[in-house]
Amino acid sequence: MAAVTDHRRPARASHRLMRAIARVLAAAGLAVNAYVHADLASGYDQVAASVSQGDLFRLEAALGALAALLVLVWRRVPADLFAFVVAAGGLALLLVYLYVDVGELGPFPDMYEPQWYSEKTVAVVAQAVAVVSTVLLILTTRRRRRRGGEPFSETGGFTG
């Protein structure tokens, strides 16, 4: 008689491995982006309205570092969503200010900068990696079932 194999177990292991790799990639992308923004911040302190672009770069660096830490340590849907918002928001703003001269908006300075340079390229790639990785984490979150059969997410909230 042939031994019965549980074919679901390898799928669970590969699912966990894929999510672990996605977490590491998301955290790495966020950390690289945080480093780039922290490194460049002092050079943008002169670009200012009420708030300087250097201060905004420091804020981006802090949010990116926090998101990277949360994605690795907390490993819950809210952390993944926060990381996605930080990465996608940073990427969107970088691309908007690369291609559109928005001008000064309220307390925010005119940050139009239509040229590419190595740090900007690194930041775009890092943020894109973080966006794709966090989307993968969000979409592959397993839903658990409560005792009564009601589905709920990893965060404990009802899904339906």
What does the pLDDT read at residue 18? 94
What does the pLDDT read at residue 75? 86
| Res 4 pLDDT > 90 | no
Whether 145 is covered by a domain: the verdict is: yes
Domain count, the chain: 1
Whether 73 is covered by a domain: the verdict is: yes
pTM for this prediction: 0.82
Whether 26 is covered by a domain: the verdict is: yes
Read off the pLDDT of each residue in 70-74 and give the average, rounded to a whole number: 95
The first and second tokens of residue 15, run together, are 């699912």
Tens digit of pLDDT for each residue in 90-134?
999 999 999 999 999 889 999 999 999 999 999 999 999 999 999
Q: Are 153 and 159 contacting, i.e. CB atoms less than 8 angstroms apart? A: yes
Whether 148 is covered by a domain: the verdict is: yes
Write down the mean pLDDT value for the chain. Answer: 88
What does the pLDDT read at residue 141? 87
Whether 69 is covered by a domain: the verdict is: yes
Which residues, other chains included, contact 153 with Cβ-Cβ below 8 Å and sequence gap of 6+? 77, 141, 143, 144, 159
